[in-house]
Amino acid sequence: MSELRTDRKNRKKSNKWKKRILWIVLLLFISVIGYGIYLFVNVYGATKESHEEIVRPDGKSELREDEVTIGDDPISILLIGVEDYETDGQNGRADTQIVVTINPNTNQMTMTTVPRDTRMEFSAEEAGQYAGFHKMNASYTYGSIFDYGANKLTVEKVEQLLDIPIDEYVTVNFDGFRDIVDALGGVTVDIKEPFWEKNFYVGGEKIYFEEGESILNGEEALAFVRMRKRDVNDIYSRDERQRQFIQASIDEAISAESLFKVGEITDILGENVTTSLSASEIFNLQKAYSSMNSSNIKTFEIEGGDQKIDGTWYFIPSEEGINTTSQQLKQELELELEEGNTSDYSADEDQIFETE
């Protein structure tokens, strides 16, 4: 009898623990669902405020035959960093332009920096009385001033340069960049060469970067990606540092810890970020590429050189450099490759860049 009573007690204890485990699992499930709803509501609200479509015929790039579906088709996204702190948030310049391609079929991501000083021709429709040759980064300014659309004109000039469709864009200003990095708790970067840069938020203060791994806060990160006027530029270029920082940021943004900072991040988006991506498209991107390893990101560079024309220094891509980069990006986007020069780019019919 004593054995039977012991067995009954053991069964009761076992049943109690099973019930407790079930309740714990249920509570965890409810918590996960609840947090998922919280994420969606926050992200949806923030992206709705930040959402700004590119007005296009048929809702797609003229260089696309068919519309693309994010998460299913290879796509391109233009990342635009805007310098508007000197103009009180009005009519800033595109300080940084990076073309990102993402291919779900190969799980491959690429980054291509478009030099801000690239010499481009602007029409009267695009630049009004300032029609003529200007630097690429003026596209954001003229698009704002002449109601063409700052993001639209910037996207179209990059399409003209590289002869590829730009499907989406994300624009962030300096304040947004700084605040997002701080919200993530900083970004860890392996600094390759020591240098210094001024702090854009504290007049006269310098930020020193030492060689080796370092966690950068928002102000430090902004200085890290912007420095371009000192000798270190020759061996540790601005474009390289920008790509390096983006790779590090991707790892930080998709980490488990960052999921719990979504409230802080979404508070930043509305005022400082604009994007053509909708909330559902952002979720599709996250779902499709959250497991992507940033170390596998390929980078392409546009070959060319600097030339002084009419008293102004410009970056002039070589014909071969433009065509090579264009073909590489078309391959990543699974577009039909064409022979010869397909880009509409021309620095000036009287100016020819010659490689040494």
Q: Which neighbouring-strand residues pair with 308?
A: 313
Residue 78 within any structural domain of the chain: yes
Is the model more confident about 95 or about 76?
76
Q: Which H or E run includes 173? A: strand 168-173
352 has pLDDT over 60: no
pLDDT tens per residue across span 22-58: 555 555 554 444 444 444 555 555 566 677 888 888 8
Q: What is the CATH number of the domain that holds 100?
A: 3.40.630.190
Residues of the domain holding 239: 50-332
Q: So what's the pLDDT on residue 36?
A: 46
Distance CA 348, CA 4 (A): 97
16 confidence band (pLDDT: 50, 70, 90): low
Contacts of 126 (CB under 8 A, 6+ apart): 139, 142, 143, 146, 148, 153
Residue 274 within any structural domain of the chain: yes
Residue 250 within any structural domain of the chain: yes
Residue 347 within any structural domain of the chain: no
pLDDT tens per residue across span 180-213: 888 888 889 999 989 989 888 887 799 999 999 9
Residue 268 within any structural domain of the chain: yes
Residue 354 within any structural domain of the chain: no
Domain count, the chain: 1
Q: What is the pTM of this model?
A: 0.80
Residue 349 within any structural domain of the chain: no
Distance CA 121, CA 251 (A): 38
Distance CA 93, CA 81 (A): 8
Asked if residue 132 lies in contact with residue 141, where contact means CB atoms within 8 angstroms, the answer is no
Residue 202 within any structural domain of the chain: yes
Q: Which of 106-115, 233-242, 332-341 ranks highest by mean pLDDT?
A: 106-115
